[in-house]
Amino acid sequence: MSHPPATPAKVPPSAATYTPATQDPDLRSQINSLLLREGHATKIQERFLHSLDAHSSNWPSAIQSHALALLRSGEVSTFPALVRRVLEDVQRDTATAAATTTTTNNQASSTNANESSTANKDGVNGAAAVNGASRTAGGVNGSAAGADGTANLAIPTAVVEAVLKVVRESLEDVCEIDPDGSAGG
């Protein structure tokens, strides 16, 4: 379905080490233009929405319920304030989920390293990690609770991974790594 653009964006190998402060704005603009023109932006958005709707966490409904609760409680009264607050809450739960996953993974590594000498029947320090989610932390990415005990608003990891795969494929379609590093700014 997708065909290479007539003039792919030439990306220098050094782009792999770019940070937000060192990104080449012209290169970024060129890539964005190609993604839009070639229909990849729509493809990415559609995959994201499909993955969110198909995921068992029912994330769109959790966001809707959270927004309604904020409006009904009077915590927010305008649409801009609602959007700002929901985004803050999603970022908070995403950061909490990432920290929990990192902690759980570190505990799992520690437990696995010690398993040869002692068996831990309960899993990871009694928490028994399941799919990267610690039961003691209330789960992450679409399970029971977020940072404040309400529904977890973090975007599910499986959704992020599915969308990143499409983004990577789209970038490979519109970009060409310049072997001599002369492209880009």
Question: Domain ranges in the chain?
Answer: 1-55+156-185, 60-155
Please write the tens of the pLDDT for every residue from 58-89. 899 999 999 999 999 999 999 999 999 999 99
In contact, 175 and 9? CB cutoff 8 Å: yes
Per-residue DSSP letter, 135: G
Local confidence band at 129 (pLDDT 50, 70, 90 cut-offs) = very low
CB under 8 Å, gap of 24 or more: what pairs does 80-88 form? Answer: 86/153
SS3 content of the chain, % helix, strand, coil (to 5): 55, 5, 40
Specify the higher pLDDT residue, 105 or 36: 36
Please write the tens of the pLDDT for every residue from 140-181. 444 445 555 567 899 999 999 999 999 999 999 998 877 765
Write down the mean pLDDT value for the chain.
76
